[in-house]
Every structure is written in C-alpha cells, then in structure tokens.
Amino acid sequence: MDDRMAVQTVTLFTDTPLNLCLGGQLQYIDVAYQTYGTLNPNKSNVVLLCHALTGDAEPYFDDDRQGWWQSFIGPGLALDTSRYFFVCSNVLGGCKGTTGPSSLQPTTQKPYGSQFPNIIVQDIIRVQKALLDKLDIPHLHAVIGGSFGGMQATQWAIDYPDFVDNIVNLCSSLFFGAEAIGFNHIMRQAVINDPNFNGGDYYESEAPEKGLAIARMLGMLTYRTDLQLTKAFGRATKAEPKFWGDYFQVESYLSYQGQKFLARFDANSYLHLLRALDLYDPSFGYSDIKTALSRIKARYTLVAIENDQLFKLVELHKSRKLLEENGVQLSYFECYSDYGHDAFLVDYAVFEGKIRAALAPEYN
C-alpha cells in the first residue's frame, strides 16, 4: 500500500505531565502510531482506529505478515484508504512502542515495572487526543473500535463531543459484565502467582511466562465459541498425546496460542489493560451515566454478536437501552457469527456493510 506510513513515535507531555484519573502522573509519554490513506485538503476525512486489548498501532501490513485488521483495511475495503485517512496508535500502558510498564522511567532509566501507575480508558483517549493535536488534526470524521477499542470510541464521544462526527462500536458494551470481570480476575491471578512475577519487577530476570501463557489460554476460550472450536477440533487427539498435557487437539491449539502470546506481549501491560477494561465506566468524572451519555452528539453505530461469550448479548441490550434513553442517534445491529467475540477481527462479511454505512450514511 503506497499510502502506508512506517510506524512512527512521538513524545508527548514533555512540558506538562498527564494527570491520571486514578492518581499519579506520567511525563514524556512515547506514542507509537501508524497512518494509512491520504489526508484531504480540509482534513475532514480522518478516522481514528482504536485497537482491542492486545492490539497495536499496525492493523495492516503490506508484506507477508498479517495485521490485526488485515482483511478490513485497504483501497475499496470497508476501511477504505482511498477515501479516508486512518490513524491508529498503540494505547497508553501497552508494550508496542507507547509508554507502558516495560518502558524506561525517565528519571531512573529503568523499566517502570511495579511503579507504573494505574490507568483507565479515559487516560488512554486523552493521550490519543494529544497525539491528534500534535498531528494538527482538528476534527475526526469517525472513531471506530472493537471490544476494548469500542469502549475507547464511546468515551471519545462523551469527552470530546464536538470533535467527532461518528462512533462505530463493534462488540463492546458500556460496562463489562460480572462474568467477564471474573474471567479477567482468574487471568490476572495466573500471572501474579507465577513465581517469576516478583510484584511486577521481573525485567532484569525471568518473566512470568507460565502465568501469562495460562492467562492467554483462558482468554482465547472467551473470544471464540464452542461451535467454532467443535468445528475446528472436535474431540480429535494428538498423534502422540500427553496424558497430562496436550492430549486433545484443542488443548494443543490453546497451548500454542499461549506460547505464541509470550513473544509479543508484556505481562504487566496485560494486567493493567485488563483492569482498565474491568473498570470502564462512561460516567467517570460526570455526575451520573445520564449526564455522560447525554453529551454524545455523534451518530453512534453499535454492533452486537448474538453468541459473543465475552460481551454477552444481555449487556449489549442494556447498553442499547441506555444510549437510546439518553438521546443518542443510534443504529443498532445484532448478528450471528461462529467466531463469537473474535468476529469483529475476522468475519468481514458480517461487518462490511455496517462499517461502510456508519462511515458514509449515503452508502445505504
């Protein structure tokens, strides 16, 4: 893709630190970001892409590697780079170029580790806003995200109601459900109780890889569906099964996913971002949820997956009701996909028309 820029990094908050919502400050925040497409003369075609929990600033690669939204973005696709100028940054607290627990603390030049402050979604989007200001982007045609990215998109509409025209929230509710918080708790405990965790200060020794791999395996079960796993693996066994290990093919798949995750993610980042997901409350900083949602001026598209095992349909129904009751111009869709929650990453046929219509109403 000729209009794809290389990943770039800027340092923000160099003069004044970012005061975080839960207390503490961060200064000299590095932000890794990527752009796609061409900015038009009046800068009216900018779309901010917000990635999910373990994503990064690169939804698309133009070589043999696969980005996390590879099949969605490109000339003529739903995220049409011949029409829009896309900006995507790695989130605050991440481990793909933006300041997070594994980054060097400016004063000590050692990784933050256990000293990295607690963050929430509102902190993440304030850093995104600072990036857009740095890039001299005065307005957003849209903010689009799935899962954790959908929460970011929602908060953009609340905190910056005059800055964005369209919100596209894929597979994400306004609040995380109790069962989902429970899953995250188990995943965090797997990491924290790894003997190598050392309170988060493990960067000069062995990382808590066993705990992180287990956490990822559990996470994978919430992202897919029983139907998809049955179709893919059923009760097939390994050629050389291990009685207490990878006996079934589905076990081998989960083990593979857990080990693969170790090469690309940091345990501390995982903990912080999981907790930000749990804590997301659109009304933080406002008197109540009605006051917060009533600030939204953007057109809002919400897409639910009927058999999503993480963001359950009942939570999406609650979110729909709250948005409609508080005057949000809402387009709501329910769809089915064998992929469950992961559908927003891989099931292009389900989302294509809805994304196109959300970005360009005349599409319909």
- The pair phi, psi for residue 273, each rounded to 5°, is -75, -35
Whole-number Å distance between alpha carbons of 153 and 159: 10
Consult the annotation and say whether 126 binds a ligand: no
Whole-number Å distance between alpha carbons of 154 and 281: 10
Residues noted as catalytic: 147, 308, 341
Q: Which amino acid is at 129?
A: K
- CA 230-52-334 angle, 5° bins: 60
Tokens standing for residue 234: 């059923």
- CA distance readout (Å), 75 to 1, 37, 60, 81, 182: 8, 8, 12, 5, 41
Whole-number Å distance between alpha carbons of 48 and 165: 11
Cβ neighbours of residue 66 closer than 8 Å, sequence gap 6 or more: none
Q: Is the dihedral of CA 303, 304, 310, 311 positive or negative?
A: positive
Whole-number Å distance between alpha carbons of 279 and 71: 31
Tokens standing for residue 312: 């359950």
Tokens standing for residue 302: 């919400």
Consult the annotation and say whether 266 binds a ligand: no
Give CA torsion, residues 234, 237, 239, 240, to 10 deg: 150
- Residues making up the binding site: 216, 342
- Residues making up the binding site for substrate: 216, 342
